[in-house]
Structure formats: C-alpha cells, structure tokens
A and B are shown apart, each in its own frame.
Chain A
Amino acid sequence: MTNRSPSPIILLGTRFLSPYIMVFGFYVIFHGHYSPGGGFQGGTLLAVSLLLIRIASGTKIASLQFKDYLATPYAALGVLIYFGTGLVAIFTGGYFLDYEQLPIPGLEAADLRYWGILIIELGIGLTVMTVLVLIYDNMVKGEDYA
C-alpha cells in the first residue's frame, strides 16, 4: 500500500474517521485504571487511527501525519516512561514499581498509586502504538535481506 488507493470514498472515509478514532483511543487510555480500558487497548486504537491513513492514502501522505523514522525512538521513550517510574520508586526507598514512594508532593498513598498506574499506562499506550505502526512499515518496505 505504498500508493494512494484509487477510490475517493476510501480516501475521504479514512481521513474523516481517523481523528475520531484517535480521540476515542485517548479516552480508553485515560480511563484504564478504574474502568475497562488501559494501555494495551488504547494503544491499539491509536495505532488503528494511524494505520487507516497508511493503508488508504499511501506512505508519502501518511508520513505527514507520523513520520516512520520516529517510531523506534518513541517506542524507546514509552518503555523509558514505564521503567523510569519503577526506578524512581527504587531510588526513594521502596520496591520496584512501588507507586507509594513516588515523590509527588501533596498526595496520600492511595492517590499516589492511582496516579502511578496512569503514568505507566501512558507509557504502555505510546509503545504499543509505535510498535504496531513499526511492524506495518517494515512489512510494506519489503526489503530483500538475502
């Protein structure tokens, strides 16, 4: 799908749907820690919103929305958010990923665990989105490794 799809219905339909799917994906990520949803599901929806444009409009136009060389650094950034929170918990004296010890001022223990899970869900969502887009980009490139 490196070329634009010749049908105008597909082109217009995907361009119309993609922002709404992205908003819904963010909604699912942000409500993951107390209702159905979370990092994995929201990340997949965000990836869908990017992949729709890649399938329908081709790689040249889709790179206006999300450049393909950004995928690997953003995936590394998502993992860094996740285990950076864990390491901060070790440095302030608790176990790994013990959100009670995070140094955010003015919150008590139960609220700290609430916000800690939200932070790692953001990291997971970013990584899942970029990895799915990375898999698709590599399959389309089809290089010969022989």
Chain B
Amino acid sequence: MIGSEIPALIPVTYIFFAILIPVIGLWKREITWHLSLLGTGIATFFSAWGFMHLIQTGETIRYFFGGWMPPVGIEFVYDGLAAFIVLVINAIAFLVLIHSKEISKVEFPGKKMAYYTVSMLLMLGFNGMVLTGDLFNLYVFLEISSLSSYALIAIGEKRAPYSAFRYLIIGTVGGSFYLLGVGFLYTVTGTLNIIDMHEMLPMVIGHSSVIAALILMIVGVGVKAALFPLHGWLPDSYTFASSTSSALIAPIGTKVAAYILFRIILFLFGVELIDEQLPVTTIIGIFAGIGILYGSIMAIAQSELKKMLAYSSVSQIGYIIMGISLANPFGFIGAVLHILNHAMMKALLFLVSGSLRLKEGHSLITKFDNSYRKKYPWTMAAFTTAAISMVGLPPLAGFFSKWYLALGTIENSNWLLLAVILISSLLNAVYFFRIIEKVYLNNPEAESPEESEVVEKDEVGFSMMFPMAVMAIGLLLVGIFNAYIVNIIFNMFPAGF
C-alpha cells in the first residue's frame, strides 16, 4: 500500500521536518542537526524503496493530488528517470549533512536552527522539481529551492551577501522567463500537464509562439543550470558560501536544473519536434562545448580551491547538457550516468575543501605543501580518487560517462564535440594533478628533508571522514558495476529512441 504513496511521501517528509526543526529548535538548540539528519535519512529510505519497487514492477506511478484526474488536476509522475535522480539527490544530501556537524560549529555558530530549516526547504524544492508532472507546479518548486539557496549562500564570509544578491537578481529573472514561456504554451495548447501537452504539441507546432516559448524556457532554466553564457553567478556564489552550502547546492542544484532541460527537450517536445523550426539542439550543443572549454581554462587560472571547483562545475555541467543536445541513446545514457557521477565527485571535492578549511583555516592552492600527505592521509586519498575520476581514468566512474558521451558524438558524426571532450579531459588533468603534485611529491626547492619539522597525523574526525569514505568507495563501485546501472537507464528512455 505504501509503495504507491511514495511520490507524495518524499516531499511531505521534508515539509514535516521543516516544521519540526524551528519549533523544537527554539526550545533545545543542540538537537537540530540530528533532526535534519533524520529527515534526510527517512527521505533517502523512501526514495530507495520506491526505486527498488520501480525496478521490480517497472510501472510508472502517476499520483493525482486531491483525487482530481490529470488534465484538470496536478499530478506527480514517478517514472524511472525521476526515481533515479530523487535517490541520487537525497543520498548526497544525507552524506553532506553528516559532514556538516563539525563545520557548523566554526562557520555559522549561532544560526544552526535557521540553517537546517532552510536546507530542509531546499531539499523540498529540489525533490518537488524532479517529481512533478505539471509545468506551473515546477515553477513553484523552482522558486522555493531558489529562495532557499539564496539564503544558504548568504550565510558565509566576506563577500557572500553581495554574491547572493547578484544571484537573486539573475535567478529571479530566469524564473520569470520560464513562467512567461509556460504562459505562451498555455495560451496555445490550453493545458499545463506535461504528458497531456506532449500529445497536443504536434498539432500546434507551426505556431510562432511555440518556438518563442521553447527559447524562453531554455534560457530561464539555463540560468539555473549554468549553461555557458548564463553562468556568471556561479563562481562568486560557490566560493564565498559556507562549505556545507556549496556541497549542498553545487552537486544537486545544477543537476536538477539539467534534469528539467531533459524533461523540456526530450520528453515534452520530443526528438522529432525539437528541431522543427530552429536547430535548438545544435545551438545548445555549441554553447555546451564552449562552456566545457571555458570552465576548464578558467579553472586552471585559479589559485583558490573553491573557486577552481566552481569553474570546474561549469565545465562538467557542459558535459551533461552536451549529452542532452546529442538526442540519441548513447548521449542520454552518458548524460544520466554523468549526473550520478558528477554529483558524487563534486560533493566529495567540496567536502574535502571544507575539511581542509576547517583544519588549516584557508584553502589557497599556493599554500598547499607536502606536509598534507602526512597530516591528512585519508582525506587526501579521497581527494585523489575524486580527481582521477574527474579526469576520466578507468576503472573509476568518470571514465564510463565520458565514454558513453564520446560514443554519442561519434554516432552523430559530430567530430568537433568529440575533440572538445578529449581536450577538456586533458585540461582537467592539468588543474587536478597540480594539486596532487603539490601534496604528494617533494618540493625540489625546499630545504633538505632532515631540516623540515616532523608533522604528525591530524586527521579529521569520524563524522567528517565517513561521508568522504562512502563517496570515494561509491565512485569505485559505480565504475565497476556500471553495466548494471546502464541496464537500468535503458528503461528510462523517452519515446522516440
């Protein structure tokens, strides 16, 4: 019985804990971290159960709110792709919130109750965006998650409120563009339901407002997804936010916006209609390619770890959007697999930077030296795993998603994008191996080893090490068992593949 209620129970869990944390937090301050962990844990459990149920029975759950049937009422559609992404984002949020216990004592000491409430609302917004099957409901959840992320980014250090303000202006304009696009589509088709509109669009595709709506929606959601020219808010916001906020918003936020682009381009319009009047997929592919190269080149130029990871995020989102723009099965598999891989890799990298900031007080790459490999052996091992996976070496997970994307570009005979993938992998290697070299190899200009002081192991505590270890092992497991995961992704294809 409870298996069919899963699409409603996951957001309701987050609402329940978003109510519980302020009320109990005003009475007892120390219990808020445990409550937020409980909330994310229950939601992860529900999403894992729903995912298992979906693999066994293979049927899509369509959940009608209020008992009203689809074109009239709002529904949540729990199909394969939504189940997969909900599981990924809830699991990553659970691990990041475990890590946040030590960081919350240093970076936002008096504000734990507000922070964890807003993070519950953030996860509510993301889960609602993934699960919903109604275009206007998607706008409401988009704005819920955006407002929460503005608040989370503003709790930070020196420049954080100003970067959050700039992100607010750009993000709200993006949301309004998306709403205007939905308005155009509603005027022409008369419905707001995604499945219903997919059946009606072939009848109205010649109308000029449909192509205007498509452009408005892609630009609007592209602001959130950090598509190339619209990524300007991302580096400042991720750099100055607190480490937990970056680790929550960076792996999850841009992925969910990329998932919305999946829904709009491949499910709502479909591969036959998307290129009718304007070569949309080609244009998005070009922008994604430029974004990949731009992000990698700017990341090489940075001297601070978090800003480098932010530019690296711009580059990696380019891979996912390139996978969407290829519009063939290999590109789809590559993009979905890269959502899983990049969420784990980026969360792990931001958690490592948070741990280093906690222990050292800074995260400037120029000050890294090879005492780190003695002081933080396991943390640096996790960092190395993530770095090798980002570059794309087998058997770690990053290789397989780039492999499927490369197969997708070959199938479309798009040699330019294939060159972009290969060149950017080399550029990734440059900026990650630079850090690994500083940490693991002896500095040739330093004094002789007998004179340097003896440093001892100063590893981070268990609550910070556990999520990093789980994610690093997870990268290895996803890489080894990726054929099994690709088999599951085969069931998620949209119509027309």
Residues on A facing B (Cβ under 8 Å):
69, 72-73, 75-76, 79-80, 83, 86-87, 90, 94-100
Contact = CB atoms under 8 A, between A and B. Distances in A.
Interface residues of B, number: 15
Given A95-B64, A96-B65, A83 B26 contact: no
Contact of A72 (B26, B65, B67): B26
B5 interface: yes
A95 B26 contact: no
Contacts of B18: 79
Interface in B1-18: 5, 8, 12, 15-16, 18
A86 B12 contact: yes
B23 interface: yes
A83 B15 contact: yes
Nearest to B155: A145
A79 B14 CA distance: 12
Contacts of A95: 8, 63-67
A76 B22 contact: yes
B109 to A, nearest CB: 11
B67 A98 contact: yes
A94 B63 CA distance: 11
21 contacts: A69-B26, A75-B22, A76-B19, A76-B22, A80-B19, A83-B16, A86-B12, A87-B12, A90-B5, A95-B63, A95-B65, A95-B66, A95-B67, A96-B8, A96-B63, A97-B65, A97-B66, A98-B65, A98-B66, A98-B67, A100-B67
Contacts of B16: 83
Contacts, number: 41
A75 to B, nearest CB: 8
A16 B8 CA distance: 46
Interface in B51-80: 63-67
Contacts of B19: 76, 79-80
A97 B137 CA distance: 15
A98 B8 CA distance: 12
Given A76-B22, A95-B8, A96-B66, 12 more contacts: A72-B23, A73-B26, A76-B23, A79-B18, A83-B12, A95-B64, A95-B66, A97-B65, A97-B66, A98-B66, A98-B67, A100-B67
A80 B15 CA distance: 9
B23 A96 contact: no
Interface string B11-36: 01001101100110010000000000
